[in-house]
Amino acid sequence: MMEKKRIVEEGLLEQYLIGDLPLDQQLEVEQLLASDASLRKEYKQMEASFEALAFEQSIIPPNEIKDQLKKVIEKKSSNPYQKFAFPIAAGLALLFGLSTFWMFTKWQSTETDLLDLQNQTSSLQSRIQSIEDSYQTVNTNLENINNGQVIPVVLYGNQKAPGSRVVAYVNHDQKIVFVNPETLPPLPADKTYQMWSDVDGEMIDMGLLDSKRNLIELKYIEAAESLNITIEPAGGNDHPTVADLVSYVTL
Amino acid sequence: MIRNLDDIQLTKKVSEGDERALYQLYDKYSSAIYGVILRMCRDEDQAKDLLQETFVKIWKNIDGYDPKKGRFYTWAYRIARNTVLNSIRKQKNLIQTEELGVHTNTEAEENPKDFTVLEGSLAQLEPHHQRAITLVYYMGHTHHEAHKVMDVPLGTFKSYIRQALKQLKTIYGRELILVWSFFEMMI
């Protein structure tokens, strides 16, 4: 680092002022100027005198020089590439932005479509499963009621269930009974239909009948002489309420 | 101070590509810089070209100007000085010598034409101080060249420059006080 004393005594500040120092010395002077306030003050005064001197010695240049300068500067500024560089860059940036936005939108839209498609597929699968289940049920029911071993029996409703026709499908070989109670009239919520088998004068419970269903499997009772339907409290009864007998058939 | 603040704003505008700011700087400083260039090259046609070239360089290199390091004029002066010295170096009939750098005719330098007559405060300095300042500031000599032209030791020459600047500072300070007193009286 140069010493301040040397800079002042050797006139390096004056040389720095006119740009007459080699680069290394120039940098050192600049460092010292940045760190030493008194030297900086001295340099500022020197600059002020230098500038004042220049204005005293000034000579007004001919106007043509400014005109010529304008031509040169404006020619450089009117370089088409330079002039349009910003608008072109801005245009390209806008185009890039728009295309990116368009692609993003398309991507989002495609993703939504894909999601919809997946949902639809899932819904279709679920519906197919449901149809398959229904088909399986219908098929099973059909097999249960439509074979040579099944004896269909019709129970006509009395005045408590006028016009109803309950069909019971009895298979003595496989010991199963299916009943279609659809035609029974609806009951209040606290009541239910119950079916009974009469065996040697004793009524044996076969199960409850839900008139909303079209085929119900009931308990098969060996040696039943007749089938009977009564109206009972909701949940069923241990013994039939004979007064509320709706229908019966002798087997 | 106001001038410097203006200059900082103008140079900032120039760096942003504002041509009008450059023309404002030209209006402000071209005569001061032209005075330097004309005294250095002593040829009016050449001086015109060099002044234009100097301002084109200022336009192109404005980002290299750092207001923290000094005044705009000082920076512009260095550009003008280098531009003139480079031009003189390129002249085919130049006989370059180590002793005299780019200058070949000491007589011509000491007896410039009319347009190089020194004005104002510089004329108030002692002749050897005037000469030292002229050689360095207006003829583009380095200190090493100029002390040989004046035929004095380098140290002596440097002290001439230092003393000359001190005197100028005193003169400008006195003038500033006079101007201030004048304004005080007006108020």
What residues of chain A have any CB closer than 8 angstroms to a CB in chain B?
10-11, 14-15, 17-20, 30, 33, 43, 45-62, 64-66, 68-70, 72-74, 76-77
Backbone angles phi, psi at A147, to 5 degrees: -145, 165
**Which comes out higher in pLDDT, residue A20 or A2?**
A20
| pLDDT number for residue B73 | 95
Q: What is the predicted ipTM?
A: 0.78
Cβ distance of B73 and A46 shorter than 8 Å: no
Count other Cβ atoms within 10 Å, centred on residue A190: 8
- Taking the complete model, does pTM exceed 0.90, yes or no? no
Mean pLDDT of A137-152: 84
pLDDT tens digits for range A194-217: 999 999 989 999 999 988 888 888
Tokens of A247: 């229908």
Alpha carbons A140 and A146: distance in angstroms, whole number? 10
pLDDT tens digits for range B13-50: 999 999 999 999 999 999 999 999 998 888 899 999 99
pLDDT band at A78 (very low <50, low <70, confident <90, very high): low
**Which comes out higher in pLDDT, residue B168 or A82?**
B168
Give me chain A's average pLDDT, please.
Answer: 88
Count other Cβ atoms within 10 Å, centred on residue B157: 26
Domains, chain B, ranges and CATH?
A: 1-94 (1.10.1740.10), 98-187 (1.10.10.10)
Q: Cα distance from B136 to chain A (closest Cα, Å)?
A: 8
User: Do residues B24 and B67 make contact, with C-beta atoms less than 8 angstroms apart?
Assistant: no
Q: Quick check: helix, strand or coil at residue B52?
A: helix
Nearest by CB: B73 against A15, A51, A66? A51
Cβ distance of A58 and B34 shorter than 8 Å: yes
Q: In degrees, to the nearest 5, what angle opens at C-alpha A160 toward C-alphas A157 and A161? A: 40
CB proximity list for B114: less than 8 A, separation 6 or greater? none
Mean pLDDT of B107-114: 45
Is A160's pLDDT higher than 80? Answer: yes
Spell out the alpha helix ranges (H) of chain A: 4-9, 12-17, 23-35, 37-56, 63-77, 80-145
CA dihedral in degrees (B43, B46, B47, B51; nearest 10)?
180
Alpha carbons A51 and B137: distance in angstroms, whole number? 11
Cβ distance of B32 and A58 shorter than 8 Å: yes
Alpha carbons A202 and A224: distance in angstroms, whole number? 10
Task: Find the radius of gyration of the CA atoms of chain B.
Answer: 18
Alpha carbons B160 and B166: distance in angstroms, whole number? 10
